[in-house]
Structure 1
Amino acid sequence: MKKYKYVLFDLDHTLWDFEKNSTLVLEQLFTTHKLHQLGNDLSFERFIEEYTKVNHQLWQLYNKDEISKEELRDSRFEKVLTNLGVEPDRIPQGLGLQYLEKSPHMPHVFPNTYETLDYLKGRYPMAIVTNGFEEVQHIKMASSKLTDYFKYVVTSELAGYKKPHKGIFNHTLELLGATAEECIMIGDSFESDIEGAKKAKIDHVYFNPNKIKHRKKIQHEIHNLIELKELL
Structure 2
Amino acid sequence: MKRYKDLFFDLDDTLWDFERNSEETLKELYHRFLAQELGEENCTLFLSTYHRINESLWNEYKLNRIKKTEVAYLRFLYTLEESGSNNVSLARLLAEEYIRSSPTKTNLIPGATEVLESLIREYKLHIITNGFTEVQIPKLLNSGIRHYFTTLTTSEEAGCLKPCSQIFSFALEKAKAQINQSLMIGDDPEGDIRGARQIGLDTVFFVKDSKNLQIES
Normalised by the size of structure 2, how large is the TM-score? 0.91
Alignment size in residue pairs: 216
Structure 1's unaligned 5+ residue stretches are: 212-222
1:91 CA displacement: 7.2
Alpha-carbon displacement from aligned partner over 1:86-122 (angstroms, at most 9, x marks no partner): 1314873411111111111111100000110011011
The one-letter amino acid paired with 1:26 is L
Aligned to 1:201: 200
Distance 1:89-1:158 versus aligned 2 partners, 3 A rule? closer
Alpha-carbon displacement from aligned partner over 1:21-63 (angstroms, at most 9, x marks no partner): 1111111111111336337x96111111112221122112212
Aligned to 1:92: 90
Q: CA RMSD in A?
A: 2.2
- C-alpha separation between the residues in 2 aligned to 1:188 and 1:36? 37
1:127 CA displacement: 0.6
Aligned to 2:159: 160
- C-alpha separation between the residues in 1 aligned to 2:67 and 2:104? 23
- C-alpha separation between the residues in 2 aligned to 1:79 and 1:186? 34
SS in 2 for 1:163: coil
Distance 1:122-1:69 versus aligned 2 partners, 3 A rule? same
User: Would you say the 8 A contact 1:81–1:91 is kept in 2?
Assistant: no
Aligned to 1:182: 181
User: Would you say the 8 A contact 2:130–2:154 is kept in 1?
Assistant: yes
SS in 1 for 2:98: helix
- C-alpha separation between the residues in 1 aligned to 2:35 and 2:61? 27
Distance 1:172-1:38 versus aligned 2 partners, 3 A rule? same
SS in 1 for 2:203: strand
The one-letter amino acid paired with 1:6 is D
Question: Would you identify which runs of 4 or more consecutive aligned residues in structure 1 move more than 3 Å?
Answer: none
User: Would you say the 8 A contact 1:36–1:42 is kept in 2?
Assistant: no
Distance 1:57-1:20 versus aligned 2 partners, 3 A rule? same
Structure 2's unaligned 5+ residue stretches are: none
- Pairing 1:43-58 to 2, within 5 Å after superposition: 43-58=42-57
Is 1:224 aligned with 2:201? Answer: no
The one-letter amino acid paired with 1:72 is V
User: Would you say the 8 A contact 2:9–2:186 is kept in 1?
Assistant: yes
- C-alpha separation between the residues in 2 aligned to 1:89 and 1:161? 33
SS in 1 for 2:3: coil
Aligned to 2:171: 172
